[in-house]
Structure 1
């Protein structure tokens, strides 16, 4: 995705309109959620190739929590506005952007900062127009996660009639991978989850097998069997146990490490299972051309507007309650996506 153009971006992007302050959340101290604070900031300036958006909904993502904790080191400054995903209405177009964008409802990626605010700036390459029937809160549950899930399944060479396991299925990314696999004709879809209630909700979305976090069948469920594809959002020390669940010629695609990095010797599991001809890959949306990402996102929005895909919103909180949203994420109680509204 393109370089950040909102709060905390390059020098030119940090030029602001001092006469139009906006309410925003800033990270005043890295670590616990209490380090997030509501403040007033100058409105971000619109630069060439970008648009200003009156924000209606903000997606609270896992990467926001990682940045807030300070896990990624000193590359992020104290006082930054976190967040990367908004939906709202374009109110101003920068140089080189057609004036017809003004007034349109859009989803936008703001970079690695700038979204937790009443107004945000995004480069036009990172903006997708929304169908009239799609709510802004639903857009931020779909817009970031949907293309990653779509292209991860493509990267895994998934085909109709094959089985899929989604590890870490209760977040917005896992929920999208589950739904897209089901819609594409998966023969069976396994998921991992932490409670029977979550398992029931995932079955309602298309899951057919429920596993716990150690790759064992959940209470009352059948043995997991083998899967043609594993889409893994978690990583962590249990990753080798899920490699074991691959069928012959199975493909394992890692798209996140929210549970930490896997053991350094996890590749030995692949070697021990050499005769199964297994494959392990990583996937990042950064490797997909921008035009293809945006086309996939627009298709997902259209399908959701028609009722073919479901946006799962765990809760909608006011912007001032961003710290509470992060506390829920840290506690692992979120199913789907939490949304903030200015």
Structure 2
């Protein structure tokens, strides 16, 4: 399509997007339309096929995500879609192909601009909603397991929230690596976890630390903790000598009033203190955007890890449970469902029919 044809075709074309206007309940999300943008140099216009509802958006609507932009903005941490237009300097061979991209914000739109170098190809035959569940979740799980904790066959790991988006991916990757996995979850998820080969532990019942210690009397080689709060102390104490605590969130303080940064700073201080004490254990905080200032290296590492994860999905080694597929204009319903804690898998937004 020529530039003139593109100009004529978009005169009446619009983008539908979901805007987070401020600290609101899910029903406060706003569905808006605006003129469809043209891709600039190095950009593509992506037709969204799936975008996710993650814990990040749950924090953002409360104003609790550590480095979220100023309101109003369009949420949407990641996206899978098809390239429908390429800007100047972009290979026209990308047109019509399906890609995944990690954005942090902007994904809750039926069409959006994406920097071409951030696109990662989705293998043929892979369902776009399933691929979407493994963009941020898959990169996070892969990097924490293989780059941070460096888990090997025969080791034992503890995954908090083993039924969640990142947790369920961590469980599968750890099992594929030959590790023994203990996972905390509510009882309704225990049967499914046992079927995978996980030792499930009810995180709500009294004496959680004692029950986890009973499941691993000699300690564990890694703990993956998205909860934070006071419970992070028990996570660290469960480590065997040489073990690694990977903290990657502060879910315990999601609904706590006050500064969004204070819980993070307190967590960082605690982790730093443990690392200077002579305890033969290591504590780290995982940030998926770490190293972004070295853009080429960051993109190369992120791309390589996501390609590996999507390849495992394509060959059936990894599953990506989709809890629900909900049209974009019902984003409030999708966010409410994701926050309910009643579903297994990820809630995915799809284009409006």
Match of 1:180 among 169, 173, 185: 173
Counterpart for residue 324 of structure 2 = 315
User: What is the TM-score normalised by the length of structure 2?
Assistant: 0.83
1:284 partner SS: coil
Match of 2:194 among 196, 203, 209: 203
Q: Summarize the alignment of residues 121-132 of structure 1 with structure 2, pairs less than 5 Å apart.
A: 121-132=113-124
The question of 1:282 aligning with 2:285 is answered yes
Shift of 1:222: 5.7
Which has more helix, going by share of residues?
A: 2
Match of 2:132 among 131, 137, 140: 140
The question of 1:242 aligning with 2:235 is answered yes
Offset from partner CA, 1:268-317 (integer Å, 9 cap, x none): 99499x67511111122223621121111112111111100000111111
Judge conservation of contact 1:216–1:224 (CA < 8 Å) in 2.
no
Shift of 1:209: 4.1
The question of 1:152 aligning with 2:144 is answered yes
Judge conservation of contact 1:83–1:113 (CA < 8 Å) in 2.
yes
User: What is the TM-score normalised by the length of structure 1?
Assistant: 0.85
Q: Structure 1 pair 27/285, CA: closer, same or farther in 2 (3 Å)?
A: closer
Q: Structure 1 pair 92/234, CA: closer, same or farther in 2 (3 Å)?
A: same
The question of 1:33 aligning with 2:36 is answered no
Deviation beyond 4 Å, 4+ runs, structure 1: 72-75, 262-272
Q: Distance in 2 between matches of 1:61 and 1:75?
A: 14
Q: Summarize the alignment of residues 156-305 of structure 1 with structure 2, pairs less than 5 Å apart.
A: 156-186=149-179, 188-193=180-185, 195-213=186-204, 214-217=208-211, 223-225=215-217, 226-260=219-253, 261=263, 266=270, 270=274, 276-287=279-290, 289-305=298-314
1:237 partner SS: helix
Q: Distance in 2 between matches of 1:252 and 1:73?
A: 21
Counterpart for residue 4 of structure 1 = none
Counterpart for residue 335 of structure 2 = 326
**Unaligned stretches of 5+ residues in structure 2:** 1-9, 254-262, 292-297
2:139 partner SS: helix
Shift of 1:148: 1.4
Offset from partner CA, 1:184-222 (integer Å, 9 cap, x none): 110x101111x211122223334234251543538xx96
- How many residues are treated as equivalent by the alignment? 320
Counterpart for residue 92 of structure 1 = 85
Counterpart for residue 7 of structure 1 = none
Shift of 1:77: 4.0
RMSD of equivalent CA atoms = 2.6
Q: Structure 1 pair 102/50, CA: closer, same or farther in 2 (3 Å)?
A: same
**Unaligned stretches of 5+ residues in structure 1:** 1-16
Which has the larger displacement, 206-215 or 308-317? 206-215
